A and B are shown apart, each in its own frame.
Chain A
Amino acid sequence: MRVSIKVNGVAHERDVEPRTLLVYFLREHCGLTGTHVGCDTSSCGCCVVVLDGDTAVKSCTMFAAQADGREVSTVEGLAQGGALHPLQQAFWDNHGLQCGFCTPGMLMTSYALLKHKPNPSETEVREELAGNLCRCTGYNNIVKAVRQAAETLQAAPVQK
Chain B
Amino acid sequence: MIPAAFEYIRAGSADDAFAQLQRLGADARVLAGGQSLIPAMRFRLARPAVLIDINAIKELSNIGIDNGRLTLGAVARDCAIERAPWIGERRWSLLHDASRVVADPVVRQMGTIVGSLCHNDPAGDWTTVALATRAEVVVRGKAGSRTVPIDEFLVDSFTTAVAEGEMATAVRFPVPGDRTAGSYQKVERKVGDFATAAAAVQVTLAEDGTIRDAGIALSAAGPCAVRVSEAEALLKGQKPTAEVIRGAAAAASKKSAPQADLRGSVAYKKNLAGVLVSRGLRQALARLGVQS
Direct contact of A and B (CB under 8 A): yes
Instruction: Check B6–A62 contact: CB distance below 8 A.
Output: no
Instruction: Check A19–B38 contact: CB distance below 8 A.
Output: no
The stretch among A37-45, A76-84, A85-93 that forms the contact with chain B is A37-45
Instruction: Check B192–A18 contact: CB distance below 8 A.
Output: no
Q: Mark A39-62, 1 if CB is under 8 A from B, else 0.
A: 011110100100100011110111
Instruction: Check A62–B110 contact: CB distance below 8 A.
Output: yes
Report the minimum CB–CB distance from B285 to chain A (whole Å): 25
Interface size band for A? 20 to 34
Q: Which residue of A lies closest to B104 (CB)?
A: A131
- Residue A71 lies at the interface, judged by CB distance under 8 Å to chain B: no
A18, A48, A61: the one contacting B34 at CB < 8 Å is A61
Give residues of chain A (14-32) contacting chain B, Cβ–Cβ below 8 Å. 17-19, 21
Instruction: Check B191–A18 contact: CB distance below 8 A.
Output: no
Alpha-carbon distance A42/B109, docked complex (angstroms): 12
Instruction: Check B192–A131 contact: CB distance below 8 A.
Output: yes
Residues of B within 8 A of A58 (CB): 106-107, 110
- Residue B55 lies at the interface, judged by CB distance under 8 Å to chain A: yes
Residues of A within 8 A of B110 (CB): 57-58, 61-62
Report the minimum CB–CB distance from A37 to chain B (whole Å): 9
**A1 and B43 in contact (CB under 8 A), knowing A58-B110, A62-B34?**
no
- Residue B1 lies at the interface, judged by CB distance under 8 Å to chain A: yes
Instruction: Check B105–A130 contact: CB distance below 8 A.
Output: yes
Residues of B within 8 A of A48 (CB): 106
**A19 and B53 in contact (CB under 8 A), knowing A41-B39, A43-B192, A131-B105?**
no
Residues of A within 8 A of B143 (CB): none
B10, B35, B39, B41: the one contacting A65 at CB < 8 Å is B10
Residues of B within 8 A of A131 (CB): 103-107, 191-192
**A130 and B42 in contact (CB under 8 A), knowing A19-B2, A57-B106?**
no
Instruction: Check A40–B10 contact: CB distance below 8 A.
Output: no
Residues of A within 8 A of B191 (CB): 130-131
Q: Mark A76-116, 1 if CB is under 8 A from B, else 0.
A: 00000000000000000000000000000000010010001
- Residue B286 lies at the interface, judged by CB distance under 8 Å to chain A: no
**A61 and B192 in contact (CB under 8 A), knowing A18-B5, A40-B1?**
no
Q: Which residue of A lies closest to B1 (CB)?
A: A40
Report the minimum CB–CB distance from A74 to chain B (whole Å): 15
**A19 and B106 in contact (CB under 8 A), knowing A42-B39, A61-B39, A65-B53?**
no
Instruction: Check B106–A56 contact: CB distance below 8 A.
Output: yes
Q: Which of B10, B31, B35, B106 has the most CB of A within 10 A?
A: B106
Q: Which residue of A lies closest to B4 (CB)?
A: A19
Report the minimum CB–CB distance from A132 to chain B (whole Å): 7
Q: Mark A118-149, 1 if CB is under 8 A from B, else 0.
A: 00000000011111100000000000000000
Residues of A within 8 A of B42 (CB): 21, 40, 60
Alpha-carbon distance A45/B42, docked complex (angstroms): 16
Alpha-carbon distance A83/B186, docked complex (angstroms): 43
Q: Which residue of A lies closest to B103 (CB)?
A: A131
- Residue A66 lies at the interface, judged by CB distance under 8 Å to chain B: yes
Report the minimum CB–CB distance from B92 to chain A (whole Å): 19
Residues of B within 8 A of A55 (CB): 109
**A127 and B105 in contact (CB under 8 A), knowing A61-B38, A65-B8?**
yes
Instruction: Check B39–A40 contact: CB distance below 8 A.
Output: yes
Residues of B within 8 A of A40 (CB): 1, 39, 42-43
Identify 27 residue pairs between A and B in the complex whose beta-carbon atoms are under 8 Å apart, listed by A's number.
A1-B8, A18-B7, A18-B8, A18-B51, A19-B2, A19-B5, A19-B6, A40-B1, A42-B107, A51-B109, A57-B106, A58-B107, A58-B110, A61-B38, A61-B107, A62-B38, A65-B8, A66-B34, A66-B53, A66-B55, A68-B10, A127-B100, A130-B105, A130-B191, A130-B192, A131-B104, A132-B106
User: Given A61-B34, A66-B34, A131-B191, list of 16 further CB < 8 A pairs?
Assistant: A19-B2, A21-B38, A21-B42, A43-B104, A57-B106, A58-B110, A61-B39, A62-B34, A63-B51, A66-B55, A109-B106, A116-B83, A127-B100, A130-B191, A130-B192, A131-B192
